[in-house]
């Protein structure tokens, strides 16, 4: 039907006010949340970074952490990426091809 709007889960929320304007929206995403008082407020959640991809084929890398840089700095090296050669840069099939190509050329 023309002119009828769908009812949404949350009401439109005003972002102004005492604390709403000062959060950086580059690094955070806005999420509407119902609080125990019954109001709907905007919370700012951290964005999830994109998944690491293979430099050879572009496939998503397995075993590579998906965290923001300040959390990656605190992680141990073994938690960030696989310990095999080219771990965190190439997937295992591409790594195998690269190593075999190097051995064949020698």
Instruction: Read off the pLDDT band of 68 (50, 70, 90).
Output: confident
Task: State the Rg of the chain over Cα.
Answer: 23
| Average per-residue pLDDT for the chain | 82
Residue partners of 65: CB distance under 8 A and separation at least 6: 72, 75, 79, 80, 81
pLDDT per residue as tens digits for the range 74-100: 999 999 999 999 999 999 999 999 999
Is the pLDDT confidence value at 30 over 90? no
Task: Give mean pLDDT, residues 36-52.
Answer: 87
Query: Is the separation of the CB atoms in 53 and 59 below 8 Å?
Result: yes
Q: Which residue has the tokens 């008082």?
A: 37
Are 27 and 47 a contacting pair, CB within 8 Å?
yes
Q: Which residue would you say has higher pLDDT here, 73 or 18?
A: 73
Q: What confidence category does residue 11 fall into, taking pLDDT thresholds of 50, 70 and 90?
A: low
Q: Is the pLDDT of residue 35 over 80?
A: yes
Cα–Cα distances in Å, from 91 out to 36, 75, 80, 84? 46, 21, 15, 10
* 22-26, 37-41, 57-61: segment of lowest average pLDDT: 22-26
- Quote the pLDDT of residue 16: 59
Please state the domain extents for the chain: 12-47, 50-106
Q: What is the C-alpha separation between 15 and 43, in angstroms, rounded?
A: 10
Alpha-carbon gap, residue 8 to 65, rounded angstroms: 35
């Amino acid at each position: 039907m023309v002119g009828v709007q769908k009812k949404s889960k949350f009401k439109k929320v005003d972002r102004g006010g005492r604390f709403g304007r000062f959060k950086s929206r580059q690094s955070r995403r806005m999420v509407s949340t119902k609080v125990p008082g019954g109001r709907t407020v905007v919370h700012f959640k951290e964005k999830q970074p994109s998944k690491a991809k293979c430099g050879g084929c572009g496939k998503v890398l397995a075993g590579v952490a998906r965290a923001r840089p300040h959390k990656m700095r605190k992680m141990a090296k073994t938690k960030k990426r696989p310990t095999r050669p080219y771990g965190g840069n190439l997937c295992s099939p591409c790594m195998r091809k690269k190593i075999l190509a190097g051995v064949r050329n020698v």
